[in-house]
Structure 1
Amino acid sequence: MNSYAVFLRGINVGGISIKMAELKEALNARPFSGVKTLLASGNVVLASELPPAGVKQEFEACLRETFGYDAWVVVLDADRVAELVTACPYPADDSSTHAYLTLASDPDVLTDLHDAGTALDGVELTRLGPEAMAWLAPAGGTLDSPFSKLSAKPKYKAATTTRNLRTMIKVRDAAWALSGS
């Protein structure tokens, strides 16, 4: 049995509201076990015999069929989440900045976003792998930051989602607890 972290894009914002208890109940009817939701922003850890692509397919089908939500998710195994947290070169928080990880289900989209982001003045990005990059935003100004505005463009939205490093640490810990690591 493998432990996974699943990151949903765009729930509980913009009029798409899913109660985490209802999501957990729906997922428990699928080939998943140990389902746990974290925060209300679309972070789930679970165990499954399915490979990552199968988890993604089954998870997205569950969202469509149960909630009428044509969702996109990023699925990472527990060890990969831990590797990304460790690889992030930025602190989880300091008085002036917050660290974020943008995760992608399509490496080509992430490459395009990374290339466009590096062209912006004053934006610090670090590519962590084919599915993730880390970046900094000013404390209290994340949504107004140039990179946040760039990543919100429609061509990136279907394949990417962003979490702050503090959330990624919580997800890592929950996924490890599920896997017994």
Structure 2
Amino acid sequence: MQYCAFLRGVNVKGTNMKMAEVCQVFKEAGMENVSSILASGNIIFSSDKDAVELKTILEKAMSEYFNYEAFLFIKTVAETELFWTKNPFEKNENFHTYAFVGNENVENVLMNEFEIALKSENEQAKIVNNIFYWQVSKGNTLDSSFGKVLGKKSLKNQFTSRNINTFEKILKKF
């Protein structure tokens, strides 16, 4: 079966890794047809194992090789496609739209955080198909109150986010 692994915290805050090395770690862990999309930690691969087993194997391999606490989220092709096709926001050149990949029910945790956060003009969030989507004006991603919540240590093992355009690139590579 084909999967996409979404790694958390890649090439930010001192955790620098080359995608070629990440792909090699995946291959050495027994994955096949391994390739990366962008430098933000999106790895496509094949395996006959299930997502739960893969998460354990790959987090251990990544943690050991790169000497950091690795968190990653495994999705099938069909699951990955939903992030793109269920996007509730119209494309707007003045906004970034993000979709969040994570543990079961993390969308509700994120919505609770979003609801109590101060919002910039036209900043909004929606849950569609158990996926949390966030739209924020360009230039406000890291400055927004909700954007700061995303870096909370208590949440780091629960999700990662990607710009919606990343999902389109991933789907084209599948």
Corresponding position of 2:170: 171
Are the aligned partners of 1:24 and 1:35 in contact in 2 as well (CA < 8 Å)? yes
> Given the alignment of the two structures, is residue 99 of structure 1 paired with residue 97 of structure 2, yes or no?
yes
Are the aligned partners of 2:97 and 2:134 in contact in 1 as well (CA < 8 Å)? yes
- What is the CA–CA distance in structure 2 between the aligned matches of 1:106 and 1:73, rounded to whole Å? 13
- What is the CA–CA distance in structure 2 between the aligned matches of 1:146 and 1:83, rounded to whole Å? 27
- What is the CA–CA distance in structure 2 between the aligned matches of 1:168 and 1:74, rounded to whole Å? 14
Deviation at 1:110, TM superposition (A): 3.4
Deviation at 1:116, TM superposition (A): 2.1
Q: 2:116 aligns with which of 107, 115, 119?
A: 119
TM-score by length of 1: 0.87
> Given the alignment of the two structures, is residue 20 of structure 1 paired with residue 19 of structure 2, yes or no?
yes
Q: Deviations over 1:75-123 (max 9, x none)?
A: 11111111121001114x523211111121242x432221221233544
Structure 2 stretches of 5 or more lacking a match? Answer: none
- What is the CA–CA distance in structure 2 between the aligned matches of 1:106 and 1:69, rounded to whole Å? 24
Are the aligned partners of 1:73 and 1:105 in contact in 2 as well (CA < 8 Å)? no
> Given the alignment of the two structures, is residue 110 of structure 1 paired with residue 72 of structure 2, yes or no?
no
- What is the CA–CA distance in structure 2 between the aligned matches of 1:16 and 1:116, rounded to whole Å? 26
Q: Which amino acid aligns with 2:109?
A: D
Deviation at 1:4, TM superposition (A): 0.7
- Name the SS of the counterpart of 2:99 in structure 1: strand
Q: Which amino acid aligns with 1:119?
A: I
Are the aligned partners of 1:9 and 1:73 in contact in 2 as well (CA < 8 Å)? yes
- What is the CA–CA distance in structure 2 between the aligned matches of 1:96 and 1:64, rounded to whole Å? 37
> Given the alignment of the two structures, is residue 69 of structure 1 paired with residue 68 of structure 2, yes or no?
yes
Corresponding position of 2:84: 85
- What is the CA–CA distance in structure 1 between the aligned matches of 2:128 and 2:112, rounded to whole Å? 14
Percent of pairs with identical residues: 27
Are the aligned partners of 1:8 and 1:72 in contact in 2 as well (CA < 8 Å)? yes
- What is the CA–CA distance in structure 1 between the aligned matches of 2:100 and 2:56, rounded to whole Å? 21
Q: Deviations over 1:99-157 (max 9, x none)?
A: 111121242x4322212212335441111344x31110111221112221122222222
Are the aligned partners of 1:118 and 1:124 in contact in 2 as well (CA < 8 Å)? no
* Residue range with higher mean Cα deviation, 141-150 or 120-129: 120-129
TM-score by length of 2: 0.90
Corresponding position of 1:40: 39
Corresponding position of 1:5: 4
- What is the CA–CA distance in structure 1 between the aligned matches of 2:136 and 2:163, rounded to whole Å? 10
Number of residue pairs aligned between Structure 1 and Structure 2: 171
